[in-house]
Structure 1
Amino acid sequence: MLTRTEWRQTLRKARRDLTDEEQHQAARLLAETLTTLPELRGVRRVAGYLANDGEISLAPYLAHLHEQNVCTSLPVLHPVSGNQLLFLDYHATTPMVQNRFGISEPALDCQAIRLPQEHQALLMPLVGFDDKGNRLGMGGGFYDRTLANLAGLPRPPLLIGVAHECQRADSLPVMAWDVPLDMIVTPQQVLRCR
């Protein structure tokens, strides 16, 4: 059984090794799948992310949401705590900055902050996943800390992990603080976890 660190190394390499054409095709297929998900019909606000380090791109799906006048948000590193995320409005004209990891994110604007529970769905990148719906992230715990208290809300957002099929693991080690997902979506499948 591989450790979480070993899984991260293996699965990050797998997604980084995909060609530009494979990445483009995967993003297009993922957008088609997300567009047809019954759970996402009629959403008013969705949080996504901008792909980095071989992550599957949400760009085609975010463009579709904008065409449908669905509000979108992106994660931003919390400027005070530094180990949690904020979600800020995202449009084609949103001013962007590079965070400390070199990832593009909306420039901080207090008027644009949206609470996680204001979203009907949060789309999160994965390093890896297994058939039991376990998610392996980059190891910083940003999503886990940010989403730890959502389960008790009357209407928590749908938590959806998105990944390339090559990021599937046989069985991932799970930690007590790992926030469970509602579903995992790849270009080839939808895995409903709860």
Structure 2
Amino acid sequence: MIETASLSRAQLRRLLRERRRALDPHRQRQAARRLYRQLAQHPLFRRSRHLALYLPNDGEIDPGLLLAAAQRRGKATYLPVLNAWPATRMVFQRVHSGEPLLPNRFRIREPHPNRARQRKVWTLDLLLMPLVGFDAEGGRLGMGGGFYDRSLAYRARHRYCRKPVLLGLAHECQKVDRLALASWDVPLAATVTDRAWYAADNRKVARKGQLHRNPCGACE
């Protein structure tokens, strides 16, 4: 595990990106299969009707098996789509099996934007998020663009908006001892790796698969 006390966020981000990039294709496939086994039969995944995932980039652990499983089970699945304008905004759009995808400005594949198929993030049941680094307390270090943090900023304004459940997905080698969170960082309920679950709060995280209704009218 990396000790973070002497590293800046930029240094830590560079080190952890190098770690995950160093995983060869065979180890990446193994990690993806182990991640699938960690989540596919978990109550949180099974009970979610609307869930968002991502397509891997830059060595991120691949949730593709989970995406395929969700679609086979008839779940509504969503991928992030970056807006052309404003360029810092990200939305979540429903995607179907076999749908053609196009590279965005970061060369990450995404559906062709279609507002009729986009869904407000607070109406999703489960959001599976990529990350660069994580700790066992729900801390998440992203790529630095702030797209997820901006999409989830409503949670700071409306603390009773508990949807969606936020799970980070990562390789085990991305774990650090402690992340210093900035004011805009949105903590995770848990991080799931190819080896283990790291729940920020066992009383709240859905190890029992609890999905919350949104009691916050301002989020509707």
How many residues were matched structurally? 194
CA gap 1:23/1:99 in 2 versus in 1, 3 angstroms: same
Matched, 1:24 2:39: no
Matched, 1:181 2:188: yes
Letter in 1 for 2:110: E
Q: How does 1:128-143 map to 2 (within 5 A)?
A: 128-143=133-148
In the TM superposition, residue 154 of structure 1 has moved relative to its aligned partner by: 4.3
Q: How does 1:1-194 map to 2 (within 5 A)?
A: 1-150=6-155, 152=158, 154-194=161-201
In the TM superposition, residue 177 of structure 1 has moved relative to its aligned partner by: 0.6
Q: Quick one: distance in 2 between partners of 1:62 and 1:72?
A: 7
In the TM superposition, residue 171 of structure 1 has moved relative to its aligned partner by: 1.8
Deviates further, 78-87 or 124-133: 78-87
Letter in 2 for 1:167: Q
Partners of 1:84 and 1:143 within 8 A in 2: no
SS in 1 for 2:154: coil
Q: Quick one: distance in 1 between partners of 2:84 and 2:155?
A: 21
Partners of 1:3 and 1:173 within 8 A in 2: no
Letter in 1 for 2:24: T
Unaligned runs of 5+ in 2: 1-5, 202-220
In the TM superposition, residue 155 of structure 1 has moved relative to its aligned partner by: 4.4
Partners of 2:122 and 2:161 within 8 A in 1: no
CA RMSD of aligned residues (A): 1.3
When Rg is computed on C-alpha atoms for both structures, the one with the higher figure is 2
C-alpha deviations, 1:105-143, integer Å up to 9, x for none? 111011111111221000000100012221000001100
SS in 1 for 2:40: helix
In the TM superposition, residue 156 of structure 1 has moved relative to its aligned partner by: 1.3
**Structure 1 runs, 4 residues or longer, greater than 6 Å off:** none
Q: Quick one: distance in 1 between partners of 2:53 and 2:161?
A: 22
Partners of 1:78 and 1:85 within 8 A in 2: yes
Q: Quick one: distance in 2 between partners of 1:2 and 1:120?
A: 35
TM-score normalised per structure 2: 0.84
Q: Quick one: distance in 1 between partners of 2:167 and 2:89?
A: 18
Letter in 2 for 1:45: H
Unaligned runs of 5+ in 1: none
